[in-house]
Homo-oligomer: A and B are copies of this chain.
Amino acid sequence: MTMDSHQSQELNLSTADYSLLTDLYQLTMAACYTGEGLEQRWASFELFVRRPPEGFGYLIAMGLAQALEYLEKFRFSSSQIAALQATGIFARASDRFWSLLAEGRFTGDVWAVPEGTAVFANQPLLRVEAPLWQAQLVETYLLNTLNYQTLVATRAARLRNVAGEQATLLEFGTRRAFSPQASLWAARAALAGGLDATSNVLAALQLGQQPSGTMAHALVMALSAVEGSEDQAFSAFHRYFPGAPLLIDTYDTIAAAERLAEKVSSGEMELTGVRLDSGDLITLSKQVRSLLPGVSIFASGDLDEWEIARLKAAGAEIDGYGLGTRLVTGSPVNGVYKLVDIDGIPVMKKSSGKLTYPGRKQIFRSFAGGKVKADRLGLVTESPLNEQALLQVVMKQGERVQPPETLAAIRQRTAASVASLPEQTLRLDSPVSVQVEISAALQALTEETEKRRRVSGLPQATAKNAKDAK
């Protein structure tokens, strides 16, 4: 970020800018904490989803890799600090605030569920334990990162579950994603959530994957116009990409399939696949299958998990799906990031209908016959009872405790995680989430925190009593 960019209105993002990519109030609050001498108080914030998107029985946690990368790089340059000072908003902020920003790094601990893990409402995906000013400042970016990738990974997992292991699922969403970077993150989360490949060349190369794709109507139209016919367009494309899938719905899908069938059966053409992007996919795919047995049929065009389920139920002959708009856009995952403990004092917010459980928590998951039996949300100080504790320490004093995972490892965890869910949680129609039991200790702490606040009317009293009770 340079002041020059004010003129050109370019909105460019480099990792050096990440720390200013936050809501203003995070900075004003940090200035207030610092003025009050509270900036080093040890704060725990948990990131969780109160209510998953409509119709989602589970969420697949994703985005931790980018969250940790951000925390590792978290710092303010002198030009960023100068730009903040020039706003005049911080006229009364202390010198200490500016020196904190200038010298500051993220020095806290992070607990998180591994990427690819299925989680449910009110379960923390991540907890930051850090000096208050740091834990506060990082909220916006952490939410941004986890909210979006969790959405896309969950959709990808749902698509895979509906389409089945054999189907080829391709991520084609780049043109509809909400900014270029969104397309990169969507591609990553989609692959980690269960899709096979992305058409996004930059994303594929950065992730060490092979990009995927077929052809567009433009090629058929351009080559038809110039070279003489749709068939000549197909032949031309095969000169450079032998056997590559062809898009056959530019003019007349069935006529194109009939002509291709002749060439394939006469041995004149090798053909691995065709793509249908419009029309009645059920009828067309069946007709194309009978004309071109042994040729993969790909479908695209505003598809989602419900449409795939409908196509499969109707016996459509489709081997692969291109997923775009409905995978990478739509209603978000609305994660929130809430203070749960400060200096060992558990805290909670309770405004109308928005309960937050106090204290540093752990998710305890129990299994029976390879399936999730029950989840228990408890305090981090409780011991597992034949349960798996899902939140793990992933960063200590600002340092990762282990190298980033491979995409393959995360994808495998997603698959295992989905496979462990009961049928009623996986189904598309009115899914039933896994029951999350609140542990006795967490229940007691919640009631205590609430009761003491009600009696005293003062949050401090709540907090002090809670501390004394320890």
Instruction: Report how far A66 CA is from B9 CA in the complex, Å.
Output: 9
Q: How far is the CB of A88 from chain B (nearest CB, A)?
A: 8
Q: How far is the CB of A454 from chain B (nearest CB, A)?
A: 10
A469 at the interface (CB under 8 A from B): no
Q: How far is the CB of A11 from chain B (nearest CB, A)?
A: 4
Contact B351 A251 (CB under 8 A): yes
A48 at the interface (CB under 8 A from B): no
Binds B, one of A331-339, A370-378, A385-393, A421-429: A331-339
Binds B, one of A288-296, A359-367, A455-463: A455-463
A181 partner, pick from B179, B199, B203, B278, beta carbons under 8 A: B179
Contact with B along A1-44 (1 / 0, CB 8 A): 10001111111111101101111111111011101101001010
Contact B1 A202 (CB under 8 A): yes
Given contacts A14-B14, A17-B202, A237-B32, is CB(A349)–CB(B250) below 8 Å? yes
A339 partner, pick from B89, B218, B347, beta carbons under 8 A: B218
Which residues of chain B have C-beta atoms less than 8 A from A354's C-beta? 278
Q: How far is the CB of A457 from chain B (nearest CB, A)?
A: 8
Q: How far is the CB of A325 from chain B (nearest CB, A)?
A: 6
Contact B226 A38 (CB under 8 A): yes
A139 at the interface (CB under 8 A from B): yes
Contact B92 A242 (CB under 8 A): yes
Given contacts A93-B240, A180-B144, A250-B349, is CB(A174)–CB(B9) below 8 Å? no
Q: How far is the CB of A334 from chain B (nearest CB, A)?
A: 6
Which residues of chain B have C-beta atoms less than 8 A from A45's C-beta? 218
Interface size class of A (residues with CB under 8 A): 35 or more
Instruction: Report how far A5 CA is from B200 CA in the complex, Å.
Output: 16
A29 partner, pick from B219, B279, B459, beta carbons under 8 A: B219
Copies of this protein, total? 2
Q: How far is the CB of A409 from chain B (nearest CB, A)?
A: 11
Contact A22 B174 (CB under 8 A): yes
Contact B11 A217 (CB under 8 A): no
Given contacts A31-B240, A351-B253, is CB(A132)–CB(B206) below 8 Å? no
Binds B, one of A104-112, A153-161, A183-191: A183-191
A303 at the interface (CB under 8 A from B): no
A305 at the interface (CB under 8 A from B): no
Q: How far is the CB of A446 from chain B (nearest CB, A)?
A: 15
A99 at the interface (CB under 8 A from B): no
Instruction: Report how far A88 CA is from B325 CA in the complex, Å.
Output: 29
A311 at the interface (CB under 8 A from B): no
Which residues of chain B have C-beta atoms less than 8 A from A69's C-beta? 10
Contact B230 A459 (CB under 8 A): yes
A140 at the interface (CB under 8 A from B): yes
Instruction: Report how far A406 CA is from B7 CA in the complex, Å.
Output: 8
With both beta carbons as reference points, the residue of chain B lying nearest to A28 in the complex is identified as B241
A395 at the interface (CB under 8 A from B): no
Which residues of chain B have C-beta atoms less than 8 A from A219's C-beta? 25, 29, 32-33, 136
Contact B15 A12 (CB under 8 A): yes
Contact B201 A407 (CB under 8 A): no
User: Which 6 pairs show the lowest CB-CB distances between chains A and B?
Assistant: A181-B181, A24-B213, A224-B459, A6-B208, A25-B213, A143-B175
15 further interface pairs, Cβ-Cβ under 8 Å (given A22-B200, A38-B223, A250-B351): A10-B65, A20-B201, A21-B174, A22-B201, A32-B240, A36-B236, A84-B201, A147-B176, A179-B182, A217-B338, A217-B349, A218-B338, A227-B460, A249-B352, A277-B351
